[in-house]
Amino acid sequence: MASYFFGFFVIKYIYIDTQPALEQLCASYEQASVLAVDTEFVRERTLYAKLGLLQAYDGQTLALIDPLVISDLSPFWRLLENPSIIKVIHAGSEDFEVFKHYGQVTVTPLFDSQVAAALSSMGSSLGYGKLIETLLDVSLDKGESRTNWLARPLREAQLNYAANDVYYLHQAYFKLQQMLEQNGKLTICQQECQRLVNKPNNTIVLDKYLDISGAWQLVPEQLAVLQQLAAWRYLEAVKRDLALGFVIKDSELLALASRTPQQINDLYTIKEIHPMVVKRHGKKLLALVAQGLSQDDLPSKIERLVNFSAYKQTFKTIKALVEQVANEHDIPKEMIASKKIINQVLSHYWIHRQQSKHLPILLSGWRHQLLGEKIIDLLSNKKG
């Protein structure tokens, strides 16, 4: 067991780098009621984050788990789905991706301390360091935030930094929990944490073209080409574990779909496309263009909210309603509804004609309880 001084405290941790040690650790964690969890990873050119370290603390044992040398992390993954253990994570969106990719697990039950802080009048999107400073009067050293977590051996400063992230998080949980109970927002926090960890992921490959900025400019025949190109790029990125833009950029896909080249020489005339892309993927890209042009089931022209005559005024009305509710209930307006969330509900009514697969965020859970009916009344009587 290693230890280090921080302020007046001696923080002890154990480094887990064998399968038996992991299994013994997780067996002890099974008895915990609250488990603070964090990850350290590297993501530069890859599609998926490269996991470098797992940290956990139950109030008694702080463990740094080395996923590079332990082949079977399933005992730890099972902890994340254990309904009897509250998992405390700060701003966990990227952690959730890591857990789903490496462990095929969804964290439950979750307590996201950033969500809890926002509901406790501490501001939206509060960073971990500021949270700990505010709640516990401890200033953390963030000097290792840009470290290479895949390098071995990890330096003592790196290990200390990683231990910090769960040691103080465990303490912060109990203060935040008490604050939420006192202000009556614990249920909202629980609902919001569940929503965040269960966020739907667009895994329909043929829908990937909808993520490309500027796709609205294309006609259905061109969209069919973009649909094939974007689907291929995603599958190629998964196969090679390469970030989408390192396979081929959005701007290059858009140029291909709008110009629909037929021959290799045509590709070289498109200034947006890098010659190396043509050399590496030229024949495949031409085949995908031809496939898109020959398909019978064409995508519909993409409608834009800004083209609806009532958009500006309706958006402004909903934004004002959000601000009113935020002031009444002391919840950050950014947490209730961003521009994206407001646009989502407008798309639900005006573009998808209330046939969306997923109910808009503003019309579900605690947000619906606070202002959903007012929005429904507004949009039921307001045509785009």
- The active-site residue out of 13, 58, 66, 95 is 95
Residue with tokens 């609806």, as numbered in its chain: 308
Q: How far apart are alpha carbons 338 and 344 in whole angstroms?
A: 10
- The active-site residue out of 102, 128, 161, 168 is 161
Local structure of 59: helix, strand or coil: coil
What's CA 215's distance to the chain center, in Å? 23
Residue 66 a catalytic site member: no
Local structure of 181: helix, strand or coil: helix
Residue 95 a catalytic site member: yes
Are 4 and 163 contacting, i.e. CB atoms less than 8 angstroms apart? yes
Cβ neighbors of 187 (< 8 A, separation 6 or more) are 366
What's the Rg (C-alpha) of the chain? Answer: 24
Q: Which amino acid is at 54?
A: L
- The number of helices, as runs of H, and strands, as runs of E, in the chain is 17, 7
Phi, psi angle pair for 5, to nearest 5°:
-90, 135
Local structure of 188: helix, strand or coil: helix
Q: How far apart are alpha carbons 124 and 353 in whole angstroms?
A: 32
- The active-site residue out of 40, 58, 112, 252 is 40
Determine the straight-line distance between the first and last CA of the chain, rounded to whole angstroms.
64
- The active-site residue out of 13, 38, 168, 349 is 38
- The active-site residue out of 66, 144, 165, 252 is 165
Local structure of 166: helix, strand or coil: helix
Residue 241 a catalytic site member: no
Q: What angle do CA 61, 33, 336 make, to 5 degrees?
A: 110
Q: How far apart are alpha carbons 178 and 108 in whole angstroms?
A: 20
Question: Would you please indicate which residues are annotated as catalytic (active-site) residues?
Answer: 38, 40, 95, 161, 165
